[in-house]
Amino acid sequence: MPRCREFDINEALDQALNAFWLKGYASTSLCDLLTAMGLSKSSFYECFGSKRAVLLAALARYSQRELAESRCHFAAARPVPALIADWMNQSLLPNTCRPGERCGCLVLNLAIELAPHDPEIETAVRQHIDALNDCLASVIARGRAEGSLSGKLDPPRAADALLNVLTGTHVLAKGGVERERLQWVIDDHLAKLFANVAVPH
């Protein structure tokens, strides 16, 4: 591992993550990765072993970061409907892949590109989705307990519905659908979820 000590592994993985995020796994060449990560071929193979190993490490890092940010967001001492609305609306903001690019969600991109024929990627994607569902279900249950959400809501099913809307808007955004139309989709779903609770913008 001596060559790995010559650079920041996490920084290199972040750059690899952005490369995969921008172009997808199949279209990201080894040359692309070496350039993005700032590594020589020998350092790359000594530290990571393969393009696939880099993808799995980058995906794990991305998932950990996204889940941590979501949990931190929902831990705030604010009304649950406002927390959920803000979280959903964040999905319409430009992502950090590259300014001007419609990169979508890395986990969702890999779910479409690789998960159907790659069991290891499928497992990683499913673990991320299940963890996010658990996070949403917990905050929905909190809203029920506080009285800001209907007691008739089933938290896991309501969380699944939110994730369905969220992933759908990501796909539509990558296809060039205008933000105003996507905002309407989110607002319409939230209005139904919250029933008589006002949906903040």
Digits of tens for pLDDT over the chain (201 positions)?
445 666 688 999 999 999 999 899 999 999 999 999 999 999 899 999 999 999 999 999 999 999 999 999 999 999 999 999 999 998 776 555 555 566 778 999 999 999 999 999 999 999 999 999 999 999 999 999 999 999 999 999 999 999 999 999 988 888 888 889 999 999 999 998 887 554 444
Rounded distance between C-alpha atoms, residue 1 and residue 11, angstroms = 17
Based on the number of CB atoms within 10 Å of its own CB, is 185 exposed (0-12), middle (13-18) or buried (19 or more)? middle
Fold held by 58-194: Tetracycline Repressor; domain 2 (1.10.357)
Rounded distance between C-alpha atoms, residue 94 and residue 189, angstroms = 21
* 99 DSSP 8-state letter: T
> In the prediction, which pLDDT does 200 show?
46
Rounded distance between C-alpha atoms, residue 20 and residue 30, angstroms = 11
pTM recorded for the entire structure: 0.87
Nearest to 173 by CA among 115, 116, 94: 94
Instruction: From residue 75, give the alpha-carbon distance in Å to each of 39, 80, 84, 161, 168.
Output: 39, 10, 11, 21, 25
